[in-house]
């Protein structure tokens, strides 16, 4: 301001310049700003202290333990902080010496459990059910759950679902402070949210940000919530909380080119996670429906060329021979626009809606074919569960045992449904990877 006034008064004498500056300052001081302008100068930021006091006791720390003898040969006594274990596992960074936690100096008994990773979770019910990520508990020999009052419990895995990355564990306790679940449908982009977890083992760390986007398609069965809340290894499985103190998501993933937080994190919507958790508690696994089609997105060009109008629905690239959709008359080139009246806005909606349908139910598909709509009734089949892990044991297969010790791989057969989905004739799925295979870049899930 004074620089600008300098230009105005430059031709004036020095004495008159000082008088003019004083007069301008006095004039501005007496001007009342409009109410809107005053509102813009005031920044109202949320106060998270009450939320932390209310929800914090419901958040737990989860430590995973592994028998040292399981990976001692591959580990070779390497030295990596156990709290960094999940960092390497979650973000695909090769871990020298395999996936197990390093043994402490001096060794110990081969069957003595050693810390393998760290994660977070939150209490679903007062009788000890805890929700977390499947990748937090996957492969652990023991689980230790620590509450904010420092009580520690051994936990039992009730069930885990890798497709949605949701797991439920149980501790033997009562009168626990359970969280309140929110409505993801009411969650708005730009809304403030908060995360509580154990990044790098730092228990009950609080971070906050806003919802950046909703329904991000990064998986077949999950429309993720995207936020800019700082999430790091150890936050996995912890709650994403709105300003009403309700859990709206489970912090699960980050987007990163460096392995660390870069301003983009993803949470599993709590409504999806709740449905999975209920099935895990009831059955120990998730039962999903399938209709046997391969699909693709409907582009604007395709929609215009066939007279569909706007690009909605899922384009059927093929129907599995003898599968539910094939038997019902669904053809390649059809566009599925509705399932039991539910609109398919994008192709990713179809597997989620069909997957949530109980096998054996008859479902009405609305398809767009040759310029018109028609209804097709399909009997939903069950999605085949993952094949159990085939551990390499000398008693059952000497050659397999030799392969395991040499390469560090544990594999299982692909299900028929997986082969059809991936368009493969054969192959095996990597269930666990250690040593040479890990260093070579093979990952669990390959």
- Exactly one of 138, 165, 349, 431 is catalytic; which is it? 165
Distance CA 251, CA 419 (A): 31
Distance CA 72, CA 350 (A): 45
Q: Radius of gyration of the chain from Cα atoms? A: 28
User: Is 236 in the active site?
Assistant: yes
Give the other-Cβ count within 10 Å of 72's Cβ. Answer: 19
Q: Nearest Cα to 253, choosing from 235, 266, 234? A: 266
Dihedral sign from CA coordinates of 336, 338, 344, 345 = positive
Question: Which residues make Cβ contacts (< 8 Å) with residue 323, sequence separation at least 6?
Answer: 291, 292, 293, 381
User: Is 135 in the active site?
Assistant: yes
Burial classification of residue 381, based on how many CB atoms lie within 10 Å of its CB (0-12 exposed, 13-18 middle, 19 or more buried):
buried
User: Is 44 in the active site?
Assistant: no
- Exactly one of 135, 161, 252, 347 is catalytic; which is it? 135
Angle at CA 317, nearest 5°, toward 313 and 318? 120
Helical ranges in 314-356 per DSSP H: 324-328, 349-355
Torsion, Cα of 73, 75, 76, 80 (10° steps):
-160
Beta pairing class for 205-217 and 246-254? unpaired
Helix axes of 2-9 and 14-29: crossing angle, nearest 10 degrees: 140
Q: Long-range contacts: 134-137, Cβ < 8 Å, 24+?
A: 134/160, 134/161, 134/162, 134/164, 134/165, 134/166, 134/167, 135/86, 135/89, 135/90, 135/162, 135/165, 135/236, 136/62, 136/64, 136/86, 136/167, 136/236, 136/237, 137/62, 137/64, 137/167, 137/169
CB hemisphere CA count around 325 (13 angstroms): 25
- Exactly one of 72, 205, 212, 236 is catalytic; which is it? 236
CB hemisphere CA count around 87 (13 angstroms): 17
Residues with catalytic function = 135, 165, 236
């Amino acid at each position: 301001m004074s620089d600008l006034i300098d230009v105005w008064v430059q031709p004036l004498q020095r004495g008159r310049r000082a008088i003019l500056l004083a007069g301008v300052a006095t004039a501005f001081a007496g001007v009342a700003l409009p109410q809107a302008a005053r509102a813009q100068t005031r920044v109202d930021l949320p106060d998270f202290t009450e939320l932390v006091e209310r929800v914090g006791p419901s958040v737990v720390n989860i430590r995973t333990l592994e028998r040292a003898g399981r990976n001692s040969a591959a580990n070779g006594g390497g030295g990596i902080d156990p709290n960094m274990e999940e960092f390497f596992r979650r973000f695909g960074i090769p871990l020298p010496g395999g996936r197990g936690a390093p043994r402490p100096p001096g060794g110990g008994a081969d069957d003595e459990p050693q810390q393998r990773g760290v994660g977070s979770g939150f209490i679903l019910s007062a009788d000890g059910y805890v929700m977390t990520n499947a990748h937090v508990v996957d492969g652990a020999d023991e689980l230790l759950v620590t509450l904010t009052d420092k009580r520690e419990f051994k936990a039992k895995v009730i069930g885990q679902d890798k497709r949605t990355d949701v797991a439920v564990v149980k501790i033997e306790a009562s009168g626990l402070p359970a969280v309140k679940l929110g409505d993801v449908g009411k969650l708005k982009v730009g809304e403030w949210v908060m995360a509580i977890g154990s990044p790098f083992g730092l228990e009950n760390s609080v971070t906050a940000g806003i919802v950046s986007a909703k329904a991000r398609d990064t998986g077949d069965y999950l429309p993720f919530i995207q936020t800019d809340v700082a999430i790091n290894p150890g936050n996995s499985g912890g709650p994403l909380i709105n300003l009403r103190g309700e859990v709206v998501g489970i912090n699960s993933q980050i987007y990163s080119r460096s392995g660390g937080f870069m301003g983009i994190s993803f949470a599993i919507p709590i409504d999806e996670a709740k449905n999975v958790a209920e099935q895990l508690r009831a059955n120990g696994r998730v039962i999903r429906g399938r209709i046997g089609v391969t699909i693709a997105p409907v582009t604007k060009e395709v929609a215009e060329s066939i007279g569909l109008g706007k690009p909605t629905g899922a384009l059927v690239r093929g129907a599995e021979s003898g599968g539910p959709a094939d038997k019902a008359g669904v053809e390649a080139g059809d566009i599925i626009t509705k399932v039991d009246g539910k609109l398919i806005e994008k192709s990713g909606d179809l597997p989620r809606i069909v997957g949530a349908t109980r096998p054996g139910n008859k479902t009405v598909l609305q398809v767009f074919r040759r310029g018109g709509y028609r209804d097709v009734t399909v009997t939903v089949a069950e999605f085949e569960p993952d094949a159990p892990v085939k551990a390499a044991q000398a008693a059952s297969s000497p050659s397999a045992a030799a392969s395991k010790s040499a390469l560090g791989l544990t594999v299982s057969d692909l299900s028929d449904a997986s082969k059809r989905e991936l368009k493969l004739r054969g192959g095996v799925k990597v269930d666990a990877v250690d040593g040479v295979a890990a260093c070579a870049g093979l990952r669990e899930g390959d």
